[in-house]
Amino acid sequence: MEGKLSSVAKNFTPSSIQELSQLAQKCNAINLAEGFPDFPAPPCIKEAAVSAINNDFNQYRRVQGICDQLALKMKKTHGLNVNPLTDIAICCGQSEAFAAAIFSIINQGDEVLLFDPCYETYEGCITLAGGIPVYVALEPPQWTLDPEKLMRSFTSRTKAIVLNSPHNPTGKVFSRDELEIIAEGCRRWDCVAITDEVYEYITYDNQKHQTIAKLPGMQERTIITSSLSKTFSVTGWRIGWAIAPASAASAIQNIHIRITDSAPAPFQEAALTALRSPIEYFETLRGEYELKRDFCMKLLGSIGFRIQFKPQGSLFLFAELPKDCLLSDVEYVEELIKQAGVVVVPGRGFFHGNESCNYQKRYIRVAFCKSGATLNAAAQKFGELINAKACPKILY
């Protein structure tokens, strides 16, 4: 059968993040690699899902109430007028919403700008559509956007730009000034902004998420994608959406129907309960994750990691290896699994630009969306290494 595989299939390799997650499970290691919570989802939305199943909401379904709630949220949070009947497509998670958004606008040879480092899924969707990823490097250690570098990246072939804020893997929240610069490029070159806003409610230190769609001239050229997954700790439910001008939303919905037909019906019903959550839920969520972030920063700092950028949002720390560590990111991760039984992600998988930049092999990503028990267990593992001085390669 191998000889029958398409060229697309042959060019796709397994996700390094999922491979590490599977390794953690196989080795009974502590999984700080994959960005899924290992603690329970809110009881009220679990009960709503069970109730939907028991009430036989188990067939193909599109729950219009989700669109109604999202339209209300967009108006209240961002001041945007969204028509719930025409401007929203419900999909199987943000991943499908993003893929369908790409498929809806990208033709063979179209260029798509992405900020580097970035989440691995984006490139795959673009290449599947026949597009060409063009990477614009954010400058470490603060992951700043160079306006001139961005503007030089636009060409007559640029069709879209992908914007993920809060950002995976760095935790950066793009500032209003940075959004204005990106919007200027989109307007000047007549490009579409495709956003990934799954961490929209997970920001720290009084940072606030802003969608680029609210800037002048941008709502009509922006496709927003998001989901329940991170905000409500239900990454396996696969309920996501795209919010876009009617023509794009319709195209996305049509692609979704051809590929998966319907998002899981019981979980769509439960999404109504989730989206009606009081503001106190989101405030508590931020506060709890901020404590987890600070715990992990202190832990990694104690063993020599250089954390020059404090995450402003998302669920990740992007930490630079200790200065005197001679290992690469991949070698470090391998040693950490062997010596401590803890799994994290090598940073190089998020970089796609100039490989001669040494810093691309000097970062690891740590997911702190874990229970207190998991984080304490990881801290204990590191503590045992320090006390035993068992692993001079990775402790400094």
pLDDT value at residue 242: 98
Q: Which residues belong to CATH 3.90.1150.10 in the chain? A: 2-41+280-389
Quick one: pLDDT band at residue 91, thresholds 50, 70, 90? very high
pLDDT value at residue 222: 98
16 contact partners, CB below 8 Å, separation of at least 6: 120, 345, 346, 349
pLDDT average, residue stretch 44-70: 97
pLDDT value at residue 394: 59
pLDDT value at residue 382: 86
CA distance between the termini of the chain: 49
Task: Say which DSSP state 220 is in.
Answer: G
Residue in 155, 156, 138 with CA at minimum distance from that of residue 147? 138
Quick one: pLDDT band at residue 14, thresholds 50, 70, 90? confident
pLDDT tens for residues 231-245?
Answer: 999 999 999 999 999
Does pLDDT of 45 surpass 90?
yes
pLDDT value at residue 17: 72
Angle among Cα 93, 311, 70 to the nearest 5 degrees reads 35
Name which residue leads in pLDDT, 188 or 331.
188
pLDDT average, residue stretch 331-357: 86
279 contact partners, CB below 8 Å, separation of at least 6: none
Coil/strand/helix, residue 318: strand
Q: Among 20-34, 51-65, 367-381, name the one with the lowest average pLDDT.
A: 20-34
- To the question of pTM greater than 0.85 for the whole model, the response is yes
Residue in 69, 52, 70, 50 with CA at minimum distance from that of residue 61? 52
pLDDT tens for residues 298-333?
Answer: 999 998 999 999 999 999 999 999 988 889 998 999
Quick one: pLDDT band at residue 396, thresholds 50, 70, 90? low
For residue 166, cis peptide bond before it (omega within 30 degrees of 0): yes
pLDDT tens for residues 106-156?
Answer: 999 999 999 999 998 999 999 999 999 999 999 999 999 999 999 999 999
Q: Which residues belong to CATH 3.40.640.10 in the chain? A: 59-278
CATH code given to domain 59-278:
3.40.640.10
pLDDT value at residue 393: 59
Does pLDDT of 391 surpass 60?
no
Asked: is 2-41+280-389 a CATH 3.30.230.10 domain? The reply is no
pLDDT value at residue 11: 83
Does pLDDT of 392 surpass 70?
no
pLDDT value at residue 12: 83
pLDDT value at residue 369: 98
Helix, strand, coil % over all residues of the chain, rounded to 5: 45, 15, 40
Share of the chain above pLDDT 70, in %: 97
pLDDT tens for residues 269-297?
Answer: 999 999 999 999 999 999 999 999 999 99
Query: What average pLDDT does the structure give for the chain?
Result: 94
